[in-house]
Amino acid sequence: ETGVTQSPTHLIKTRGQQVTLRCSSQSGHNTVSWYQQALGQGPQFIFQYYREEENGRGNFPPRFSGLQFPNYSSELNVNALELDDSALYLCASSSPRQGATNTEAFFGQGTRLTVV
Amino acid sequence: RKEVEQDPGPFNVPEGATVAFNCTYSNSASQSFFWYRQDCRKEPKLLMSVYSSGNEDGRFTAQLNRASQYISLLIRDSKLSDSATYLCVVNRGNTPLVFGKGTRLSVIA
């Protein structure tokens, strides 16, 4: 087990609703990244948080937002849900080392979101 | 053009076979390279990092060709339990991981 936990594991929402997904990072990890994985695709980067600040964002609209808390856990919020938001949402935690170029990321088991 | 490209497969191979996957990346600034394994409806898990000199872990061998910007994964003596999707992943320093779409492998008895 990676020590990264996500909740809930499964969720069904209606188009137009809002959703909050949660992630507890591995102990000692200060960086959390969120990814969206649609069926048959690789994970796509949404954004990353480092010490409670957004530290990079992928090509996702502003209705995708997030937070990181002092204990480094994180939330992903999606407003105005669309059918295409149906996907597996993955959280990955890491602790980048200064000057390092090869930092392993540990994934949670994901939240499977279905929008109907 | 996608930053990381892989043949999606599926690769259907008998037990005991040797199978190889290739992956190409477009950003020459990429510094770190990985293969992740993802089982159906599960999260990706790191299989191995890929180093310039090539590296081996049991039945798995990874190679990196920086000049041609491709990465390979070789699996020898395939087992049924190797059936999964193999994701090629790159990043530039501490930037977020960039994933390929994955290559599906089915090992058949």
Question: DSSP letter string over B9-59?
Answer: --EEEETT--EEEEEEE--TT--EEEEEEE-TTS-EEEEEEE-TT-EEETT
Radius of gyration for chain A, computed over Cα atoms and rounded to the nearest angstrom: 14
Closest to B55 (Cα-Cα) out of B71, B39, B78, B70: B71
Task: Compute the distance between CA of residue A86 and CA of residue A108 in angstroms, rounded to an integer.
Answer: 18
Mean pLDDT across A10-39: 94
Better-predicted residue by pLDDT, A61 or B2: A61
A60 close to B (CB below 8 A): no
Q: Which two tokens stand for residue B51?
A: 């180093």
Position of tokens 């992740």? B36
Task: Report the length, in residues, of chain A.
Answer: 116
Partner residue opposite A56 with nearest CB, options B44, B87, B96 = B96
Report the residue of chain B nearest A102, measured CA to CA: B32
Mean pLDDT across A1-6: 84
The verdict on a CB contact (< 8 Å) between B31 and A102 is: yes
Task: Compute the distance between CA of residue B82 and CA of residue B92 in angstroms, rounded to an integer.
Answer: 29
The verdict on a CB contact (< 8 Å) between B93 and A41 is: no
Report CA torsion sign: A81, A85, A86, A90: negative
Tens-digit pLDDT profile for residues B50-88: 988 889 999 999 999 999 999 999 999 999 999 999 999
Report CA torsion sign: A11, A38, A105, B82: positive
Burial class (CB in 10 A: 0-12, 13-18, 19+), A111: buried
Which amino acid would we find at residue A17? Q
Mean pLDDT across A102-109: 82
Best mutation target among B94, B95, B98, B101 (most A Cβ atoms within 10 Å) is B94
> B100 pLDDT band (50/70/90 cuts)?
very high
A100 close to B (CB below 8 A): yes
Task: Compute the distance between CA of residue B47 and CA of residue B19 in angstroms, rounded to an integer.
Answer: 16
Position of tokens 């798995």? B60
Instruction: Report whether A22 contacts A32 (CB < 8 A).
Output: no
Best mutation target among A7, A98, A102 (most B Cβ atoms within 10 Å) is A102
Task: Compute the distance between CA of residue B32 and CA of residue A103 in angstroms, rounded to an integer.
Answer: 8
pLDDT at res. B94: 67
Instruction: Report whether B107 contacts B59 (CB < 8 A).
Output: no
Q: Is B80 helix (H, G, I), strand (E, B) or coil?
A: helix
Question: What share of chain B in percent tops pLDDT 90?
Answer: 80
Q: Which two tokens stand for residue A78?
A: 């999606």
Cβ neighbours for A100, distance < 8 A, ≥ 6 positions apart? B94
A13 close to B (CB below 8 A): no
Report the residue of chain A nearest B29, measured CA to CA: A101
Mean pLDDT across B15-36: 94
Mean pLDDT across B30-37: 92
Mean pLDDT across B14-21: 97
> A94 pLDDT band (50/70/90 cuts)?
confident
